[in-house]
Amino acid sequence: MRITLITTGGTIDGLDSDNGVLRTKSAAAEWLKKQPGIQIEEIAICNKDSTDVNSSDREEIISAIQQSDRFVLITHGTFTITDKAILRVGAWKPFGERNSDAEHQMAFALKLFLENPTPGVFIAMDDQLWDPDKAEKYEIENGKFRLRSIA
């Protein structure tokens, strides 16, 4: 399987201003390279906290999606609608951190691509496929977050 991995930062890449974690390079690409039968093209758009992604960054993301002839996996948000299968995948704890869920989140997203790469934009987290227009992040306890469905 050929995948374009677009990295933009966020918690999964170890850029989390809430926890003070900062890494300069995404571990998602290295993890994907170790998966059997996977060929990746990595495109690093930016390395930012999600609150700092701006219109220029989103335009770069859109351009990278449009130029890709592969499935697209984004480790951080985009607001693009397309006829390609795009999964936004994140983590509650960065790769490399103790008890990180990043590997599990990436494996779940990859499994979805392999089983049924449905065109559209989705969030793959916590063993669930979320509609980004009908999901929100909420705090379940101090510093601990999850997604939930909204109407």
Q: What is the CATH number of the domain that holds 11?
A: 3.40.50.1170
Residues 97-148: tens digit of each pLDDT: 889 999 999 999 888 877 877 777 888 889 988 888 899 888 999 888 889 9
Domain range enclosing 137: 2-149
Residues 51-60: tens digit of each pLDDT: 777 889 889 9
pLDDT for 49? 72
Residue 63: pLDDT band (50, 70, 90) is very high
Buried b (16+ CB within 10 A) or exposed e, 85-102: bbbbbbbbbbbebeebbb
Structural domain count of the chain: 1
Residues 4-21: tens digit of each pLDDT: 999 887 777 765 545 555
